[in-house]
Amino acid sequence: MKLITAIIKPFKLDETREALTGIGVQGMTVSEVKGFGRQKGHTEIYRGAEYSVSFIPKVMIQAAVSDDIADTAVETIRSAAETGEIGDGKIFVSEITKAVRIRTGETDEEAL
């Protein structure tokens, strides 16, 4: 099984979620994160003092999927989350050695 971690623009979350369920991914976990990268941050001014804020709000999606749909899932996320502008984000894939569904105790592919 693979764990797909995608960091995307927040307003693309709903679209991406729908795309993923569209290809049969039934679960995912999302966190609010802040990203640093090529996309520049912004400046805030308080009584003349300028603060440059280098981190930009992003959303991180983590989805565990079976090996066979991993590539499809990556491509699905990529096309759903793309705007073509800088800061669209990244997708990382890594290996999971075990998965368990807490409610039932089912493991691995059955647990996803």
Partner 1 sequence: MKIMKTRYAASVMAARIAAPMAAFAAVMTPAIAFAADAPPKLDSGDTAWMLTSTAIVLLMTIPGIALFYGGMVRKKNILTTLMQSFAICCLISVLWMVAGYSLAFTAGGSFVGGLGKMFLSGLKVDDLSGTIPESVFITFQMTFAIITPALITGAFAERMKFSAMLWFVGLWSLVVYAPICYSVWGGGFLGKAGVLDFAGGTVVHINSGIAALVAALVIGKRVGYGKEVIAPHNLVLTVIGGSLLWVGWFGFNAGSAVAANGTAGMAMLVTQIATAGAALAWMCCEWMTHKKPTVLGIVSGAVAGLVAVTPAAGFVDPMGSLFIGIIAGTVCFWGATWLKPKLGFDDSLDVFAVHGLGGITGAILTGVFAVKAIGGTSGMLEGNAGQVWLQLYGVSVTLVYSGIATFILLKVIDAVIGLRTDEQTEREGLDLVLHGETVP
Ligand X SMILES: Nc1ncnc2c1ncn2[C@@H]1O[C@H](COP(=O)(O)OP(=O)(O)O)[C@@H](O)[C@H]1O
Residues that bind partner 1 (CB under 8 A): 11, 14, 42-51, 53
> Residue from 66, 69, 72, 90 that binds ligand X (CB under 6 A)?
90
Burial class of 89 by CB neighbour count within 10 A (0 to 12, 13 to 18, 19+): buried
- Bridge-based pairing of strands 56-65 and 42-46 is unpaired
- Give the separation between CA 89 and CA 86, rounded to whole angstroms: 8
Minimum distance from CB of 14 to ligand X (Å)? 16
Minimum distance from CB of 96 to a copy of itself (Å)? 5
Q: Which parts of 25-84 interact with a copy of itself (CB under 8 A)?
A: 26-38, 54-55, 58, 60, 64, 74, 77-78, 81-84
> Residue from 6, 28, 59, 73 that binds ligand X (CB under 6 A)?
28
- Bridge-based pairing of strands 2-8 and 42-46 is unpaired
When CB distances are held under 5 to 8 angstroms depending on the partner's kind, the choice from ligand X, a copy of itself, partner 1, none that residue 46 binds is partner 1
- Give the separation between CA 109 and CA 90, rounded to whole angstroms: 25
